[in-house]
Structure 1
């Protein structure tokens, strides 16, 4: 109780501080059409990419405008203290970053810090429309306890945020969109866990190149009141499809979360009646892999459509595809997806837009952890 009271007081004081610092000089500021928060958990080996993406955001805002949007950027870097910035025009109309809040050193890859930053930002800059960009390392739903290379979202030292913790940390808001500028978050388990947190989810089922999303192009899109996730995803795909060699690597999908229950029902029709032996009998070598997370080469995440087709009747698969097309209004992939470790590419021959975990023998820890997820409970039980 004492902790909750202190947390509440800190949010009130932070809101007063933000208002004093940011709004007294702008008494006739137009009403915000949207508040966007880019949450950069970059106290890791991605820290060098932060300035590159910040420069892109500034350039994109200067070229395309902010549409009366409050565009906030939280950064936690390897070498400086965490801070909150706003993209804002000066007296000449030139847009740049304005530092509006410093934080004491903390760990951005914890649900407590994420919740604090989100609540402070949106309390200080309220709007009827919210957008969230989550920028960091990530590995879908896979738990930090599963293996050294696995974590859900964010990396700061040894800390990560598990997917159920992520959903809980964001429970106070419903976003028009959540965009993951992070690897592997285009997983059906992730989307289903966050189905009540956002109307649309934009994510990649494979690795995202270090340069991330093309913010010069998408920053104005993120500010639009009538947000169109397909345009953002298309811009991401087009940017990487125009590259050459291993840099030509992108998979991306847009999830319409209101259609996920229908997708879960179609998958449940296939999976709920299957025994563990039948599930374990699915040959992973016959499925489209979508990750490399283990040095031995054993894959965990596969194409959802491939997995369902391996177990479904023709009628069940037809029903599944119809539900999938409703839930995934846009998906795109380059011919190959590149993976930094073990520095090779996988040919993408079949792509439904989402990955899924394949339970199997020898994966007892992950199999048990998987059972706590909302997706497992919705489609297997």
Structure 2
């Protein structure tokens, strides 16, 4: 009986200690759940005037998000003034803005500077979550490296100290490698839905959302996009729909386009990254031995890049599916198109889009993802393209 008594006593003491430990862990270790999203606004450039308006839209959008402890929206914003990290919360129907950190003047597209912000958000136990999202807001130039020639950039620009800083996709990938895996990355930047850029970033996110051409001056309508960020299922498609729908509603080919009354349309697509390696292999199988690059570039394939009035900045972002339709045999193209459709889970466009160089242009022949077609001149741009992971994986002969 005594043994049984002491055994029972020790069991009670152990249970009590365990309960205390559990209480302590619950107090000190935030529980996972919900979603944390960082919107990174690198606007210390010609887009600075749009940053404040977009922040106001984010607050409007956050008011539509359920007041939930598992929802975290962080906004890093540098519009040429002091760079700040903010947290937006819906507290009982009122959206609050809390300054998490003030960074002062800085290069917001530098690798170390961006990593610092990512660590502030994604390594902070306070923002731990079951899923994560990222919005990158700035100028964009698809896969093109900098400095290749005057005016080139891959993603992001900062001109705050009088120097033109840009971020390459390889640097962006290095930054992403320090963060948790993302459910989605939205590029609120021009020309970012290129197969070359997407393939480079395929390991870091489930979905990539963006446009293959120039985006409207006002960018994403965040009053609609922010609520879509926090939907439980199909957030990427929900965000793409929320991006497109307000522009589609205002689209009017008979009304002049302005940044404050955008009637020039928009296009957006969503790529499922776990299908991109299969797409690369299907592309490799479908490519023929001989390709007439000059013919493809002559207008046979739809080109999203309308900067013909400025040849120094024009790259040529050709429609990927349109190019493959020209170079593959019928049977090979059918197999390739299935792989393409598996990867492109959402694509839509208004009948026309708008370019700051040529005005309105038809989107007939566009399918939502761009690719580069090398020229016959073996230019520095052609050589840079041949160093991409996409080119190496597909084994192009051109």
Question: What TM-score do you get using the length of structure 2 for normalisation?
Answer: 0.83
> Residue 332 of structure 1 corresponds to which residue in structure 2?
348
Is the contact made by 2:181 and 2:205 (CA closer than 8 Å) also made in structure 1? yes
Report the alpha carbon displacement of residue 220 of structure 1 after superposing the two structures with TM.
Answer: 1.5
What is the distance in 1 between the residues matched to 2:286 and 2:114? 37
> Residue 209 of structure 2 corresponds to which residue in structure 1?
202
- Secondary structure at the aligned position of 2:215 is classed as coil
**Correspondence 1:377 to 2:387:** no
What is the distance in 1 between the residues matched to 2:267 and 2:378? 27
What is the distance in 1 between the residues matched to 2:107 and 2:145? 18
Change over 3 Å in CA distance of 1:193–1:337 after alignment to 2 = same
> Residue 317 of structure 2 corresponds to which residue in structure 1?
301
Alignment of 1:161-200 (within 5 A): 161-172=167-178, 173-200=180-207
Report the alpha carbon displacement of residue 375 of structure 1 after superposing the two structures with TM.
Answer: 0.6
Report the alpha carbon displacement of residue 213 of structure 1 after superposing the two structures with TM.
Answer: 1.0
Which deviations, in whole Å up to 9, do the C-alpha atoms of 1:102-151 show, x marking residues without a partner?
A: 11422112222222211221112222211000000101011222333321
Which deviations, in whole Å up to 9, do the C-alpha atoms of 1:69-106 show, x marking residues without a partner?
A: 1110001111x11110001245x651121111011422
- Secondary structure at the aligned position of 1:36 is classed as strand
Is the contact made by 1:164 and 1:373 (CA closer than 8 Å) also made in structure 2? no
Equivalent residue in structure 2 for 1:267, among 283, 286, 289: 283
What is the distance in 2 between the residues matched to 1:304 and 1:108? 32
What is the distance in 1 between the residues matched to 2:153 and 2:191? 10
Is the contact made by 1:32 and 1:70 (CA closer than 8 Å) also made in structure 2? no
What is the distance in 2 between the residues matched to 1:152 and 1:61? 30
> Residue 8 of structure 1 corresponds to which residue in structure 2?
none
Equivalent residue in structure 2 for 1:69, among 66, 71, 84: 71
**Correspondence 1:51 to 2:66:** no
Change over 3 Å in CA distance of 1:119–1:27 after alignment to 2 = closer
Report the alpha carbon displacement of residue 226 of structure 1 after superposing the two structures with TM.
Answer: 2.9
Is the contact made by 2:66 and 2:90 (CA closer than 8 Å) also made in structure 1? no
What is the distance in 2 between the residues matched to 1:283 and 1:366? 14
Q: CA RMSD in A?
A: 2.1
> Residue 113 of structure 1 corresponds to which residue in structure 2?
113
What is the distance in 1 between the residues matched to 2:240 and 2:268? 6
Q: Count matched residues.
A: 351
User: Structure 1 unaligned runs (5+)?
Assistant: 1-25
- Secondary structure at the aligned position of 2:64 is classed as helix
- Secondary structure at the aligned position of 1:329 is classed as strand
> Residue 368 of structure 1 corresponds to which residue in structure 2?
383
Is the contact made by 2:35 and 2:72 (CA closer than 8 Å) also made in structure 1? yes
- Secondary structure at the aligned position of 2:324 is classed as helix
What is the distance in 1 between the residues matched to 2:310 and 2:32? 54
Is the contact made by 1:174 and 1:198 (CA closer than 8 Å) also made in structure 2? yes
What is the distance in 2 between the residues matched to 1:320 and 1:365? 29
What is the distance in 2 between the residues matched to 1:330 and 1:139? 21
Is the contact made by 1:34 and 1:225 (CA closer than 8 Å) also made in structure 2? no
Report the alpha carbon displacement of residue 64 of structure 1 after superposing the two structures with TM.
Answer: 3.2
What is the distance in 1 between the residues matched to 2:44 and 2:360? 27
Report the alpha carbon displacement of residue 336 of structure 1 after superposing the two structures with TM.
Answer: 1.2
> Residue 258 of structure 1 corresponds to which residue in structure 2?
274
User: Structure 2 unaligned runs (5+)?
Assistant: 1-26, 258-262
- Secondary structure at the aligned position of 2:276 is classed as helix
Question: What TM-score do you get using the length of structure 1 for normalisation?
Answer: 0.86
- Secondary structure at the aligned position of 1:137 is classed as coil
Structure 1 stretch displaced more, 119-128 or 40-49: 119-128
Determine which structure has more spread, i.e. the larger CA radius of gyration: 2
- Secondary structure at the aligned position of 2:282 is classed as helix
> Residue 3 of structure 2 corresponds to which residue in structure 1?
none
Equivalent residue in structure 1 for 2:361, among 346, 353, 366: 346
> Residue 222 of structure 2 corresponds to which residue in structure 1?
215
Report the alpha carbon displacement of residue 31 of structure 1 after superposing the two structures with TM.
Answer: 5.0
Equivalent residue in structure 2 for 1:287, among 285, 295, 301: 301
> Residue 8 of structure 2 corresponds to which residue in structure 1?
none
